[in-house]
Structures are given as structure tokens and as C-alpha cells.
Amino acid sequence: MPPDHNLDDYVDPYSPGHRHGGPLRVGLGGPVGSGKTALAAALCRTLGAEYDLAVVTNDIYTTEDADFLRRNAVLPDDRIEAVQTGCCPHTAIRDDITANLDAVELLESRHPGLELVLVESGGDNLTASFSYGLVDVQVFVVDVAGGDKVPRKGGPGVTASDLLVVNKTDLAPLVGADLGVMRRDADAVRGGKPTLLISLREDPAATEVAEWVREQVRARALQEA
């Protein structure tokens, strides 16, 4: 094999942790209505004063999620960018990430000191996951309203995301979901990666998720030092 084809020196551009410099990019994925925008809003409220922060939202046909964040004034308007995918959400976060990269780069050029970018995927199903060419770490958000079987059903979001969030625990008694079963099933398929059971209704600051994000920012700073 010619020297320039030596695979020992090859760095996969889409492998986790390959990027250097720039803000930490955190993907928020998960099924329709699980609470991705509510979590993005909560993280903006909790972390907006600590970090130079911006958000990219993805919707299929509208700018609904970006409009929600703007209406709720969680961040100044020029820190929120909407991508209209016009196609399956997972296409825009995994297969052709160009529009999302453009949105992140626009935010980076507008705010050169940016430290953290949240990228919310459009709501999809259990198969969606982000390309590591777009984000550095990914959070998968499911909720208890679909029943306690969801973690057991697996899929890359549930098994391989860097953080699994089971949201809307306040609804568990109403839908007869057993949170102990959800915790046990998630732990069984996640190989030691963390899972948080939360209710954004009861904790609008998303305290535990915000702490996890802080840890990721610290870890990246150490990695880059």
C-alpha cells in the first residue's frame, strides 16, 4: 500500500471526539413530543448565564420549535437558528448534515466566543441518531407517556446515546408506567452509560441534565488542553 494510503494515520471525521476547537455541540434527539424543546429551553435558562450559548432547532415543515424558544425568550433571537429539514429528521442530523453545519457555523461566526451549542433534532422515532460530524455528544429524550416498555425496545438512541433522559415522570401514575422497570431496562442495554429520569414539569431547570452538560464542557476543555 502506498504511504499516503496508510490507514494507521487515518482519523475518521465522524468518530466521537474527533473535533478540536469551537463550542461543545450537544445533540438533543428523540421521539415526537418527548420534551426536546422543553429540555432545550430549560438548559438555556439554567446555563445561559454560565456559558456563551446558542441553539439550532430542526423541524420538518415549520420553525415551530425556534419560535417557541424565541417566544419564551430563553435566549436572544440571534442565538437561535431554525433548520427546516423538509425530510425525515434523521436525514438532516445523520445523513446529509450540511444545513445543520451551516446553521452552527452561522452562529459561530455571529458569536466568536461561543462555548456551547444545543442542536435539537426534529421529533422522530427510536432509530434516529446524530452524526458525530455534527455533534460531540448526544442526549436521547424519551418520555413515560408511551408506557414503560420504551427503553426495552432499544434502538441506537436508547442504547448508544451519551445520555438517556426519560422525561415526564410526573405522568407515570396516570399512564401506569413503572419507573423502576424503565430504569432497570435502560441500565440493562446501556453498558454503563448514564440514564436520568426527570420531570421538566416538576424541575423546569433540568438540574441533573444541566450538571451532565457542565461535565461534558469540562471534559472537552481537559481534552483540548
Ligand X SMILES: Nc1nc2c(ncn2[C@@H]2O[C@H](COP(=O)(O)OP(=O)(O)OP(=O)(O)O)[C@@H](O)[C@H]2O)c(=O)[nH]1
**Interacting residues with Mg ion (CB under 5 A):** 36-37, 65
Question: 23, 26, 29, 34: which one contacts ligand X (CB under 6 A)?
Answer: 34
Consecutive H or E run containing 188: helix 179-189
C-beta of 88 vs 219, nearer to Mg ion: 88
With contacts defined by CB under 6 A, name the span among 3-11, 13-21, 31-39, 97-105 that binds ligand X: 31-39
Of all residues in the shown chain, the one whose CB is closest to ligand X is: 123
179 vs 167: CA distance, rounded Å: 11
Question: 25, 29, 37, 74: which one contacts ligand X (CB under 6 A)?
Answer: 37
C-alpha 129 chain-centroid distance: 9
**96 Cβ contact partners less than 8 Å away, ≥ 6 residues apart:** none
- Is 146 in contact with 113 (CB distance < 8 Å)? no
C-beta of 40 vs 164, nearer to Mg ion: 40
- Is 143 in contact with 34 (CB distance < 8 Å)? yes
Q: Look up residue 199 and give its three cell numbers.
A: 420531570
Does 27 bind ligand X (CB under 6 A)? Our answer is no
Question: 23, 24, 25, 36: which one contacts ligand X (CB under 6 A)?
Answer: 36
Of all residues in the shown chain, the one whose CB is closest to Mg ion is: 37
82 beta partners: 57
Q: Minimum distance between the CB of residue 171 and ligand X, rounded to whole angstroms?
A: 5
What's the distance, Cα to Cα, between the start and end of the chain in Å?
35
With contacts defined by CB under 6 A, name the span among 46-54, 125-133, 164-172, 211-219 that binds ligand X: 164-172
28 beta partners: 120, 139
From the list Mg ion, ligand X, none, partner contacted by residue 33 (C-beta under 5 to 8 A by kind):
ligand X
Q: Identity (one letter) of the amino acid at 48?
A: G
Q: In 10 A of CB 159, how many CB atoms? A: 18
Does 171 bind ligand X (CB under 6 A)? Our answer is yes
Q: Minimum distance between the CB of residue 90 and ligand X, rounded to whole angstroms?
A: 12
List residues binding ligand X (CB under 6 A).
30, 32-38, 65, 123, 167-168, 170-171, 199-201
